[in-house]
């Protein structure tokens, strides 16, 4: 489309007397996502679907398909819980989108990531010397898949090997979530989660373990949905995770689900509802692991900062540091909580940013340093840290620091494929009116206009 013409989405939005902010509020998408759509840039399919559902229009009518390839992909089914699921994992492996994700990973020069994908493919009993050799009509159903499907009507079909198979697969998905594997997870989970969801509600020898896998799978769905800026699906996934955490008799899973739920409410600008979620978790504090306790106190500090209660912030930060285990790798929740010492500093920085104490926030965040990390940190958290360091730079009036950190955040968020983190970076940049005449600041804004 010629970008000098008014975009169809903008035309329809204005016909409904909606501002960009009003449409963002109604759809729970970010303003940046809507602005980019109206500028003719490609959207993630989930964001496109949300806009189409809202207006009751097709992607073509809204001008949301920028290429022939996108139009072809629009007719490809992406399976989600509750929809009609493929009969076996082979169906989903043969989807073009999934194979493109595998090709992207296998072509990557990072040896550790290559090894991770080879392990993942091994778990679904695939030998892939060359992806083009995968027969389109092959039945790739593994013994574990067969047993899982049969177990709905015949509980004796389950065995230890099958449960271990899905525990390993879930573990690998968590590892992928910390890299740039969101698209891959999005394709893998629907192939088995509906069956697990059914089985987890049936009493039997393996119920608690199946429920634990199911709860973690919904937490993985939360991660994907959040980074696709589908906040309603993220909330739904958290609620499901909590239900199955209860069935697993695992207070760690239940509390982590509440913490994730509270986090979604922060993105929906509802700090009081966030606080309610965290407060609902507090009665479990005596029954949860040290790592989950530390995370609970740390996120409490963040939301207390938003509500302006400095004394409570300092008390919660102190409690978080006190609870944090000296060695977290053996914590029972370490796989799905992903909370390290760097997270303590990040939440401390966030709390003081929310209190508009930029200097103190900068000191806490520098203990990790997103540009050259001094402590182990996941890529998603590192990008978040870069954005928070940019906010701190804005509060103390340091333009050079701001531009260096936000530029690094943009590049890394784009590589990760996270619309959420790109939107967070845009939100930080767009609010810095004090520098709008600076050439350095203006050049930085061009980074957001790349397709």
Distance (Å, whole) CA 354 – CA 344: 15
CATH of the domain at 44: 1.10.260.40
Residues of the chain with pLDDT > 70, as a percent, come to 79
43 within some domain? yes
Give the model's pLDDT for residue 250: 97
Query: pLDDT tier at 321 (50, 70, 90 boundaries)?
Result: very high
Window from 216-225, 290-299, 314-323, 420-429 with minimum mean pLDDT: 420-429
Give the Å distances, CA to CA, from 41 to 9, 66, 385.
Answer: 12, 7, 27
Give the Å distances, CA to CA, from 78 to 92, 186, 231, 331, 385.
Answer: 9, 9, 18, 35, 32
Same domain assignment for residues 91 and 223: yes
Window from 65-69, 227-231, 357-361, 390-394 with minimum mean pLDDT: 65-69
- Decide if 215 contacts 241 (C-beta within 8 A): yes
In 3D space, the residue among 139, 184, 178, 201 whose CA is nearest the CA of residue 378 turns out to be 178
**Taking 90 as the threshold, does the pLDDT of residue 88 lie above it?**
no
Distance (Å, whole) CA 100 – CA 85: 20
Same domain assignment for residues 149 and 57: no
- How many of the other CB atoms lie within 10 Å of CB of 370? 25
| Residue 440 lies in domain | 340-451
Question: Does residue 247 sit in helix, strand or coil?
Answer: helix
Q: Which residues contact 306 (CB under 8 A, 6 or more apart)?
A: 266, 271, 274, 354
For 167-198, the DSSP string reads HHHHHHHHHHHTTT-HHHHHHHGGGTHHHHHH
Same domain assignment for residues 32 and 102: no
- The residue written with tokens 């940046």 in the block is 32
Query: pLDDT tier at 111 (50, 70, 90 boundaries)?
Result: very low
Single residue among 55, 73, 91 that ends a domain in this structure? 73
Give pLDDT tens digits for 132-167.
222 333 333 456 777 788 888 888 888 888 898 889
* Degrees, nearest 5: CA angle 186-300-419: 30
Same domain assignment for residues 65 and 149: no
- Decide if 437 contacts 443 (C-beta within 8 A): no
Same domain assignment for residues 90 and 224: yes
Max CA-CA distance within the chain?
A: 70
| Average pLDDT estimate for 265-276 | 90
């Amino acid at each position: 489309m010629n970008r000098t013409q008014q975009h169809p989405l903008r035309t329809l939005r204005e016909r409904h007397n909606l501002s960009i902010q009003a449409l963002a509020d109604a759809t729970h998408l970010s303003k940046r996502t809507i602005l980019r759509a109206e500028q003719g840039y490609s959207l993630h399919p989930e964001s496109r679907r949300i806009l189409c559902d809202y207006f009751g229009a097709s992607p073509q009518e809204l001008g949301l398909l920028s290429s022939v390839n996108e139009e072809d992909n629009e007719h490809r089914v992406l399976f989600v819980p509750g929809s009609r699921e493929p009969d076996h994992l082979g169906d989903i492996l043969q989807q073009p989108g999934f194979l493109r994700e595998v090709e992207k990973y296998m072509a990557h020069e990072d040896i550790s990531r290559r090894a991770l994908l080879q392990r993942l493919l091994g778990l679904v009993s695939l030998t892939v010397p060359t992806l083009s050799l995968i027969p389109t009509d092959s039945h790739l159903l593994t013994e574990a898949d067969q047993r899982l499907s049969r177990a709905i009507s015949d509980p004796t079909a389950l065995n230890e090997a099958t449960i271990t198979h899905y525990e390993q697969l879930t573990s690998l998905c968590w590892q992928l979530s910390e890299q740039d594997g969101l698209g891959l997870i999005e394709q893998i989970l629907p192939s088995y989660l509906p069956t697990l969801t059914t089985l987890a509600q049936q009493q039997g020898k393996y119920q608690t373990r199946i429920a634990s896998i199911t709860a973690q799978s919904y937490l993985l769905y939360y991660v994907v949905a959040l980074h696709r800026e589908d906040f309603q699906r993220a909330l739904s996934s958290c609620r499901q995770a909590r239900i199955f955490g209860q069935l697993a008799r695992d207070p760690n899973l239940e509390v982590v689900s509440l913490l994730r739920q509270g986090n979604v409410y922060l993105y929906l600008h509802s700090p009081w509802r966030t606080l309610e979620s965290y407060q609902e978790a507090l009665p479990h504090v005596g029954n949860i692991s040290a790592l989950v306790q530390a995370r609970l106190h740390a996120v409490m500090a963040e939301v207390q900062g938003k509500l302006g209660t400095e004394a409570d912030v300092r008390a919660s930060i102190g409690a978080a540091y006190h609870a944090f285990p000296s060695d977290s790798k053996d914590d029972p929740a370490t796989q799905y909580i992903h909370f390290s010492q760097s997270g303590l500093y990040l939440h401390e920085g966030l709390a003081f940013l929310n209190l508009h104490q930029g200097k103190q926030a900068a000191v806490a965040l520098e203990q990790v340093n997103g540009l050259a990390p001094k402590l182990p940190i996941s890529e998603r958290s590192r990008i978040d840290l870069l954005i928070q360091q940019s906010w701190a730079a804005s509060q103390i009036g340091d333009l050079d620091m701001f531009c260096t950190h936000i530029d690094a955040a943009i590049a890394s968020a784009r590589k990760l494929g996270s619309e959420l983190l790109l939107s967070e970076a845009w939100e930080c940049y767009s609010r810095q009116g004090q520098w709008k005449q600076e050439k350095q600041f203006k050049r930085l804004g061009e980074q957001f206009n790349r397709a």
